[in-house]
Amino acid sequence: MYTWNFGLKKNCIIATIFFLISFLTWELLAEPNLTRRIPKDWSFEAEYLGNLVWAEAGEEFSHQKNLTLYQRLWKVREWQSDQAVIEDNYQIFDVQTGEMMWETKLHYRIDPGNGKIISYDKIPEATGLYYIFPQNVQRQDYTFFNSDLYPYTMQYQRTETRDGLDLYVFSFLGKIDFTRAYNLAYVSSTAGLTEEYKFIVEDFYREIWVEPVTGELVHIIEDDPGDYLVDAATGEKKSLYAVWSGKTTGNTVNYLLKKAKKRHWQIRLYREWIPTILLAATLFFLAMTLLVHIRLRRGAV
């Protein structure tokens, strides 16, 4: 009996050490890599429908609405544990003619842990701002710098529930200076594209639905009541240049919702369930070790 208890104690000690090492290895090495905001294979793809119309050179601005398709694709081009290069592709097409009306391709150096910009094209104001929402989103303000090439602050508005997931709704309403974006973009209308002008919208609206555990976007609504040509020297508003709006399609919302839900449960598995199981196993075998040790001491008396 003594020999059996001694062997059991030895096995319990080995099991305790094994699960303790497994727990520490998971917490310190595995879990941080598996739950990064931007893993190596991360991407974001969305389509939304809307309208875009702008003035043509020498012509009056037309308010005729053209159905347009917006396509966004963000993907990892380079990845290291402390930084990632994200390629941001943004295209707009006329649905009826297939004509490309707008295209930008930008690259950002991002912290893969929190989604903040490390650097972008020597624009100091971008550093430290969010490119995308982080994980564990809070009901607070977040200031971003992405394809607009101008900082803007999203404010929490409310919580919606879709397919069993809570989604935080954030919005922005205010001024955006699109000058940098226009200067770097392919634009099918070249009226007014000179250094003499800036491109300013005073009441740009953006609404984003985000899954808070993952930080993944699920729904986007954008409305630009008017990009104006503004004299760069005097600030005088010259003329209306473009009006556009769009929101994610139903198919895109469903796709992004499924993607966010899958990632949500992955993160909970990695951060909550696996470490809980490993820690519980460690404590169980530690308790067994102490129990057998007490039995052995009593047997020896």
pLDDT of residue 57: 44
Give strand pairing partners of 89. 73, 105
pLDDT greater than 60 at residue 6: no
Across the range 122-136, mean pLDDT stands at 93
Q: Select from 176, 156, 178 the least CA-distant residue to 168.
A: 156
More confident of the two residues 104 and 122: 104
**For the chain, what are the domain ranges?**
2-32+264-300, 35-248
pLDDT of residue 61: 52
Specify the pTM.
Answer: 0.88
Residue 238: phi, psi to the nearest 5?
-95, -60
pLDDT greater than 70 at residue 179: yes
Q: What is the pLDDT of residues 234-279, one digit of tens each?
A: 888 888 888 899 999 999 999 999 999 999 999 999 999 999 999 9
Confidence of residue 283 (pLDDT cuts 50, 70, 90): very high
d(CA 218, CA 252): 8
Dihedral sign (CA 279, 281, 283, 286): negative
pLDDT of residue 301: 41
pLDDT of residue 121: 80
Q: What is the pLDDT of residues 94-118, one digit of tens each?
A: 998 898 989 999 999 999 999 999 9
Lowest mean pLDDT among 32-46, 47-61, 216-230: 47-61
Give how far Cα 119 sits from Cα of 107, 111, 141, 191, 219, Å: 10, 10, 21, 32, 27
